[in-house]
A and B are shown apart, each in its own frame.
Chain A
Amino acid sequence: MTLELRGITKRFGALVANDHIDLTVRAGEIHCLLGENGAGKSTLMNVLYGLYTADEGEVLIDGVVQRFSGPGDAMAAGIGMVHQHFMLIPVFTVAENVMLGHEETLSGGRLDLPAARAKVREIATRFGFHVDPDAVVEDLPVGVQQRVEIIKALSRDARVIVFDEPTAVLTPQETDELMAIMRQLKDSGAAIVFITHKLREVREVADRITVVRRGAVVGEAEPGASDAELAALMVGRPVELTVRKDAPVRRDTGLQVQDLVVTDERGTVVVDGASFAVDGGEVLVIAGVQGNGQTELAEALVGLQRARSGSIRLDGRELVGLSVRRILEAGVGFVPEDRNVDGLVGDFSVAENLVLNRLDGPPFARRGMLQLGTRDEFARTKVDEFDIRTQGIETPVGRLSGGNQQKVVLARELSRDLRLFVAAQPTRGVDVGSIEFIHKRIVATRDAGVPVVVLSTELDEAVALGDRILVMYRGRVVGIVPSTTPRDVLGLMMAGIAPERTGAA
């Protein structure tokens, strides 16, 4: 079976997400769709899967034009999809999730659950998974949930299977297993579309590679192409991700974290006995595959997550047990992972957002009254200093671009008198120009003698920005190593394999 996309164009208002994209996928091959986040890959696949309707262009299967009015039609045509964010009902069992949408029934309209269980077992055995059909999905680890997604697609006899950024939530080892599954699927005659922005994975499994940039196909490449070639195609200019910085000048004071344990509301330990120290004047990057406790660790530092045990000392002062407000007052600056959810109030103006956490007293508030004049003056200064491109200080911050929004957060946090700076994924969803600016400001903060903790899932950023790198796996600190550590060692650490303590750090 051959799947062909011809001249697909999809616009959102004035925005062209897909611009006349052509793509052909054949049975028995793995076709990689490579591109940066936001290049238009997911939009294209949502068109293919019937979630979006294309403005122009057509989808052909074995040369026949298809009309998909919804995912149901796409599935009927043999297209399956493993979504980046699993499309599973958390409170349903595996069998229920697999049967949903094409349920078979017994007499009296009863659901045929035994048949669904049998089907799950059959497919799982075929590919050597271990999945209990009666397990409730929300209780399963992420990797297993992804297999349920694959079983779901296969149970509908999908001949084309689209994997949308499947490795974002996986450890390197789980990723390897996924690659093996993809090859197995390919050998059984399926056509695989593999969407990713990670070059290494592409080289490993791809039979053909299509690179997408800014909504358009910018080139095709052979699996043998070098990283540099692929990266250049993807980004459109040579990438340089080095941050110029001097050797750290350490100060004695700083952050000491000892045996920190954090649990989520269901009692699962998300940070498991973390201990580390950050001196004034150094950047510690906390790295690891997403979802291994880094977020919770950062949130515990600012009091957003309650520590179950352990201590966090800043310049000798205990922070555990203090409210967020008190910790902010103690001089902790924080750039949250998702600025739209945690960092900014979208409908508030730039000026209001710049003083969001500074309204407890002078100069922006006196006796419970807002000091609007002082605030506006401050805002104008910061807009200039941080090069925030906005219509004016009264513009709602939600109308700014990602990079400029992040600068608002940064300006707010760095304008305070800091004794510790914590930045979670500071450059996520930010344009290249702003990335450089943000990196420079972080290094400047370090140079001013402030201990800096940066969370990053991007290994490149971790290596470029950090003086030392702390890798987390399943809530535990696998190790703390210099940023000069070879990448393969860092990669193994991200899979939970620790460098022996005598060796590194």
Chain B
Amino acid sequence: MTTLAPVPASDPMTEGARQVTVVSRKAPIAFAAVTALVALLLLVAPRDGSTRFRFSDEGDLLRLPDVAVPGMVTAWVGVAVAAAVVAAGAVLAARRRRVPVVLTLVLVLALLVAFLAWAGAGSSRDFSVARLIGGSILLAVPIVFGALGGVIGERVGVVNIAIEGQLLAGAFCAAVAASLSGSAVVGVVAAVLAGALVALVLGVFTITYRVNQVIVGVVLNVLVVGLTSFLYSQVLVPGAERLNETDRFAPVAIPGLSSIPIVGPALFEQSVLVYVMYLAVPAVWFAMFRTRWGLRLRAVGEHPKAADTVGIKVERTRYRALLVAGGIVGIGGAFYTVVSVSSFGKEMTAGAGFIALAAVIFGKWDPVRAALAALLFGFASNLEGALSVVGAPVPSQFMLMLPYVVTILAVAGLVGRSRAPAASGEPYTKE
């Protein structure tokens, strides 16, 4: 005789599956590791003397005094603050709470101050804070545009290794168009078209012909390097005056904002493309997370078949997003030849596209975070110059290496958990 009794405590419709909580301790561990590294540096190589920070330049309305701090003491204070953040992060992780972004920013800032104070100790030169910030912004602009384009591409399901090629094509076309027309604006338009054209080729091969996206990206980079270098030697060098001499955008000071002490001149006395960048980051974020375009774009990147079944044209969505992304990267390319310098040079982007790719991943496929990552990487590159001015004992090559090392740690999951769009890299085959 079989009698039936329910399994205890299982109301099948309401009870979710039992969970054994797996807490990721990676973020606190990574924080602690970085803090410990800096502390180790201070212990192993202590430096005497004070460090001077300069907060304002000659022409500023509001003059702030320079600040000289004892190098090692300041450095240790920075490490202490960082250690406090690590502790806070550990507590949050133990309580299974997310570590807020602000905390990460505080940690980064504290360690930066510590590092600068150590590096500049005893030097007769000082750190110009305005120049540190301003220089970082300038170095970061192409990376930010590249990262924005990269984020859009990956979110719609196309891995874009060809950011470098798009930047280079943008720089080249901006140089030629701006030189021929005499207008930097025309140069930017040409760069947008060039970036979109590279994106179109990427799209034709990856979306229509379903060629592996990494292969196409890698090859497109080589193709653009080859084309621009060939045309540079063959056409631009002989006709340099007519074809490769642009009128650059002049810096424009924004009234009011530019007179804010310390950051004003660095942030708000820039060329128009920098302001475009300030607008582009929130604009891309808004478009991606608050509009129909963005919803559909993300749907296509996560689950193209599901998008197809609700009537979204997958291939068309991918093409459109890719073209927009290419155009945005193109603006970044224009920055080289209509803002930074006034002529094109062979392979002048020098790997910025790959730093942008790194920023995409480090920024977890989010436009704002990716832009912040790009700024951080720009800062690291800029620090190279600042450190050599004060004669710090840090080889510049290691500062330049930083973005790449950080990205390796990020993809290895040591810095937070990265989750790429599910269908990124996958061609969509409609049966």
Please report A residues at the B interface, Cβ cutoff 8 Å.
46, 49, 51-52, 70-73, 75-76, 81, 83, 86-92, 96, 99-103, 105, 109-111, 141, 143, 152, 171, 173-174, 263, 265-270, 272, 308, 473-476, 478, 485-486, 489, 492, 495-500, 503-504
Contacts and interface: CB of A to CB of B under 8 A. Distances in A.
B305 interface: yes
Contacts of A73: 311
A89 B302 CA distance: 7
Given A75-B310, A103-B292, A267 B10 contact: no
Nearest to A143: B13
- Which residue among B13, B18, B302, B303 has the maximum number of chain A CB atoms within 10 Å of its CB? B18
Given A89-B302, A100-B299, A489 B308 contact: no
A136 to B, nearest CB: 12
A110 B286 CA distance: 9
Nearest to B289: A111
B6 A267 contact: no
A266 B430 CA distance: 31
A71 B310 CA distance: 6
B13 A266 contact: no
A4 B299 CA distance: 32
A474 B5 contact: no
B219 to A, nearest CB: 25
Nearest to B290: A110
Interface in B1-60: 1-7, 10, 12-13, 16-22
Given A72-B311, A96-B295, A173-B12, A496 B303 contact: no
A14 to B, nearest CB: 17
Contacts of A101: 296, 307, 310-312
A72 B307 CA distance: 10
A51 B305 CA distance: 10
B4 A498 contact: yes
A88 B10 contact: no
A276 B313 CA distance: 51
A71 B291 CA distance: 22
A111 B295 CA distance: 9
Contacts of A498: 4-7
B376 interface: no
A497 B312 contact: no
B6 A269 contact: no
Contact of A500 (B5, B18, B291, B313): B5
Contact of A497 (B6, B16, B305): B6
Contact of A100 (B2, B296, B422): B296
Contacts of B293: 109
A496 B6 contact: yes
A347 B359 CA distance: 38
A49 B12 contact: no
Interface string B350-363: 00000000000000
Given A109-B292, A500-B4, A52 B12 contact: no
B19 A267 contact: yes
Interface string B122-159: 00000000000000000000000000000000000000
Across the A-B interface, the 6 shortest Cβ-Cβ residue pairs: A72-B311, A101-B310, A87-B306, A267-B22, A503-B2, A269-B18
Contact of B302 (A91, A263, A270): A91
Nearest to B303: A89
A90 B1 CA distance: 45
Contacts of A308: 20
A110 B290 CA distance: 5
B66 to A, nearest CB: 46
Contact of A269 (B7, B17, B298, B305): B17
B292 A474 contact: no
Contacts of A91: 302, 422
B4 A87 contact: no
A105 B292 contact: yes
B311 A485 contact: no
Contacts of A96: 295
B234 interface: no
A375 B292 CA distance: 58
Given A496-B7, A496-B12, A499-B2, A71 B299 contact: no
28 contacts: A46-B431, A49-B309, A51-B431, A71-B308, A71-B310, A89-B298, A89-B302, A89-B306, A89-B307, A91-B422, A92-B299, A100-B312, A101-B311, A101-B312, A103-B295, A110-B291, A173-B12, A174-B12, A263-B22, A267-B19, A268-B17, A268-B20, A269-B18, A269-B20, A308-B20, A476-B7, A489-B2, A497-B6
Contacts of B296: 100-101, 103
Nearest to B300: A89
A99 B16 CA distance: 26
Contact of A489 (B4, B306, B422): B4
Nearest to A98: B310
A499 B18 contact: no
Contacts of A70: 308, 311, 313
Contacts of B6: 496-498
Contacts of A475: 17-18
A100 B307 contact: yes
Contacts of B430: 51
A71 B306 CA distance: 10
A263 B298 CA distance: 30
B22 A266 contact: yes
B264 to A, nearest CB: 30
Contacts of A473: 7, 10, 12
Contacts of B10: 473-474, 476, 496
A93 B325 CA distance: 26
Nearest to B4: A497
Given A81-B309, A111-B291, A171-B12, A263 B7 contact: no
A174 B7 CA distance: 17
Nearest to B287: A109
Contacts of A489: 2, 4
A46 B305 CA distance: 13
Contact of B19 (A71, A111, A269): A269
Given A109-B291, A474-B12, A500-B4, 4 more contacts: A99-B295, A267-B21, A473-B7, A485-B2
B313 A503 contact: no
B302 A71 contact: no
B2 to A, nearest CB: 4
B431 A111 contact: no
B13 A87 contact: no
A266 B24 CA distance: 11
Contacts of A71: 308-311
A88 B306 contact: yes
B382 to A, nearest CB: 36
A480 B283 CA distance: 60
B291 A105 contact: yes
